[in-house]
Chains A and B, each alone.
Chain A
């Protein structure tokens, strides 16, 4: 790894550790190897959103050309969000692509991702199904996102109706996550989800 990249991550690392947000447990960064190329990030769901109370784990890969090129970031924790793939965790955020600037840091990236959770951009979607639901039925979207936060990110809001529907599909032999995806995609219409799963 180029010297400047490692040196910068080392300095940034100190910055994040000392930052106010870490003190408030809003963001966290951990090293996964000694060469500062792979890190684990963590952000909490912003208050007053469907993600509130959840903890979302991120995979951060630092390229050799950092900071002239952005770090590669994706969600490890499954999340229901128009700009984040519900399958791969890939993120659609301009600063992680062409709008990257060398003055940005891991701290600003994590804070931007937290901001993305409170302000989705459905017109520039990563997950078309989620974006469609967001635009057409915002309440349904909120409920689904809250349910996913509960199941995958440790959020506090248990939705018994969702759990029951998933259990019905699981009892039919469908894998749990697959059942959740199908139901989420069809606005929790169990007939349509079943039809899609068994067609």
Chain B
């Protein structure tokens, strides 16, 4: 394929040489073309008649070759010998490469070319072949492939220059074409003047753009889902919290307090008598009084534990009767033998501060037994199981 191609090129250029440069004896030194209606000067030089006529219109004309004075009508003769020789010359049409087999007199070539059916089509400007270096600034256009090939061979130097210029621009511009700038480009509307040359490039760009848009949408969706999940887990944890408080509200005044880590807490309280432990607040009814249990060492005798009940504030205190009055039962549950349970019941006393409507979160004063049980006995008689103590409080408003 390539050898056939170079062959056509060689033919083309040899025809071209024939065409552009007639043998010097057949060439007019003025128009540099084949002698047309040749004349001979007295000094022995040949010219086209029309070229010589134009030249002789100058003042004091002389021969364009050797400066000999020439006089019109005296020193100029028709050269019929040369005219006959030229008319016997046959040359091939320059469109041979495109299939024209016409053999012509060199003088007729130009007239023939105007009507030659093999002449390269006069393509409209936008259908002409562009130089392969058009992107680097070579604006030349061609009628057909051989012309383009010839151009590429002739202008190697020019194209190299264009390439090196483009390269220097490229290196200067490259820092600005950062990934972010390219991403931004993907949001631009597609260019309207789609040319067939760059369609392949556009396809890739289009694909990239579509993928990029999809990625952005997915990213956005992921972000939204993250927010929804965060909200839901917040809701769940707040629900869990209120669920965990549910048994406090709906225990009907009967609350079991698992007092764990008993030994350590007792030791800590022995070291610091100010330490007191409170149970969570529980309700006597869904909208009833709220109470909590306090456990600490008896201030009078640190060998005893004190168990007291405190009244706590609720959001519906104004709907309740004050002072709180009712029966309170405190039971220290023996884990194995129910008949060992220590059970104490007491009635509220309305005159005590402990039962008044609480002003703070919890009434500072409590009501109960400061010496409820001897710590020693709790251990020895098996109330403490797995290091925890179970205290049950029943509160019944009356």
Q: Chain A interface (Cβ within 8 Å of chain B)?
A: 4, 7-8, 11-12, 14-15, 67-68, 99, 101-105
Contacts and interface: CB of A to CB of B under 8 A. Distances in A.
B55 A102 contact: yes
B33 A67 contact: no
B65 A101 contact: yes
B33 A7 contact: yes
Interface stretch (B24-32, B247-255, B274-282): B24-32
22 contacts: A4-B31, A7-B31, A7-B32, A8-B32, A11-B20, A11-B32, A12-B32, A14-B21, A15-B32, A67-B31, A68-B55, A68-B58, A99-B67, A101-B62, A101-B65, A102-B30, A102-B55, A103-B29, A103-B30, A103-B64, A103-B65, A104-B64
B271 interface: no
B54 interface: yes
Contacts of B55: 68, 102
B136 to A, nearest CB: 18
Interface residues of B, number: 17
B51 interface: yes
Nearest to A3: B31
Contacts of B62: 101
B51 A102 contact: yes
A190 to B, nearest CB: 41
B31 A14 contact: no
Interface of B: 20-21, 29-33, 51, 54-55, 57-58, 62-65, 67
A12 B21 CA distance: 10
Given A14-B20, A103-B64, 17 more contacts: A4-B51, A7-B31, A7-B33, A8-B30, A11-B20, A11-B32, A11-B33, A15-B32, A67-B31, A68-B57, A68-B58, A99-B67, A101-B63, A101-B65, A102-B30, A102-B64, A103-B65
Contacts of B51: 4, 102
A192 B31 CA distance: 54
Contacts of B64: 101-104
B216 to A, nearest CB: 50
B58 A8 contact: no
Contact of A68 (B32, B33, B54, B63): B54
Contacts of A103: 29-30, 64-65
A99 B64 CA distance: 9
B306 to A, nearest CB: 106
Contacts of A14: 20-21
A8 B62 CA distance: 21
A14 B19 CA distance: 12
Contacts of B31: 4, 7-8, 67
Contacts of B63: 101
Nearest to A105: B32
Count chain A CB atoms within 10 A of each CB in B20, B32, B33, B62 and give the residue with the most. Answer: B32
Contacts of A7: 31-33
Count chain A CB atoms within 10 A of each CB in B55, B57, B67 and give the residue with the most. Answer: B55
